[in-house]
């Protein structure tokens, strides 16, 4: 199972909680990488902690701005040596995606750019409210086309669309959020799936948050291992 990437969402600004999550999710049976989002990155201690962290990590910023500003944002992160993945949003457009990818190659050759498609908290109704006319699947595939053209290293999409994306892009690194263990509540996610079903859809990695970090973390890791072994 070590070839399966499990990203654990560290969605808190509490530094002690972050340290606890990193420590208690460690296992020799799975490849687990912490993922830090805006909440921790913007916190008082977050940025400083990430400068010194010893683990590889994913910085989930979903950069979405004009190309020059997006490029400058990448420049400002060059001191985060253990950052292995960073996200940009496909809504920023092809030129922004290409600019970020090109700049990243110059400052950190080990840093992978993941393009984010339709958030898993959105459904057809939500997209219509925003003003999109395409259905979720068609919009995700359109965004995947942009991400692929930009030469970004991977894509973030719902497991519901992963099969469709994989069929068209055989070698693309696909990560899927909105993953819950069987029986867990969906919370704010609309398009969810279990870890085992997600990997059946040939994803490269999954993002798990509360299913792992809420309650007894070590027991949750055991539940995940048992679930994947069934």
Residue that has been written with the tokens 């020799």 in this structure: 28
- For 55, other C-beta atoms within 10 Å of its C-beta total 12
Please pick, among 62, 134, 137, 170, the residue that the annotation labels catalytic.
62
Token output for 188: 């704010």
Strands 173-176 and 5-9: unpaired
Tell me if 36 sits within 8 A of 59, measured CB to CB: yes
Helix (H, G, I), strand (E, B) or coil at 177: coil
CA 131 from chain centre, in angstroms, equals: 25
Neighbouring-strand partners of residue 154: 114, 173
The DSSP-derived string for 45-70 is THHHHHHH--S-EEEEEEE-S-HHHH
Buried b (16+ CB within 10 A) or exposed e, 129-147: eeeeeeebbebbbebbebb
CA 126 – CA 119 distance, rounded (Å): 10
Q: Is 167 a catalytic residue?
A: no
CA 76 – CA 48 distance, rounded (Å): 13
Active site residue ranges: 62
């Amino acid at each position: 199972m070590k070839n399966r990437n499990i990203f654990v969402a560290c969605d808190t600004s509490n530094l002690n909680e972050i340290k606890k999550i990193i420590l208690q999710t460690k296992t020799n049976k799975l490849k687990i990488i912490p993922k830090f989002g805006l909440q921790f990155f913007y916190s008082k201690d977050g940025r400083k902690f990430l400068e010194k962290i010893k683990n590889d990590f994913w910085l989930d910023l979903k950069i979405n701005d004009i190309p020059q500003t997006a490029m400058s944002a990448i420049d400002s992160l060059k001191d985060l040596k253990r950052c292995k993945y960073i996200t940009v949003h496909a809504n920023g457009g092809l030129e922004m995606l290409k600019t970020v990818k090109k700049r990243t190659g110059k400052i950190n050759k080990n840093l992978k750019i993941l393009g984010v498609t339709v958030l898993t908290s959105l459904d057809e109704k939500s997209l219509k409210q925003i003003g999109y006319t395409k259905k979720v699947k068609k919009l995700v595939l359109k965004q995947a086309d942009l991400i692929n053209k930009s030469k970004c290293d991977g894509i973030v999409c719902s497991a519901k669309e992963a099969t469709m994306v994989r069929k068209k892009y055989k070698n693309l690194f696909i990560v899927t959020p909105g993953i819950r263990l069987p029986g867990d509540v969906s919370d704010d996610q609309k398009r969810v799936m279990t870890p085992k079903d997600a990997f059946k859809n040939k994803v490269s990695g999954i993002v798990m948050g509360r299913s792992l970090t809420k309650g007894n973390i070590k027991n949750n890791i055991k539940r995940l291992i048992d679930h994947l072994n069934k």
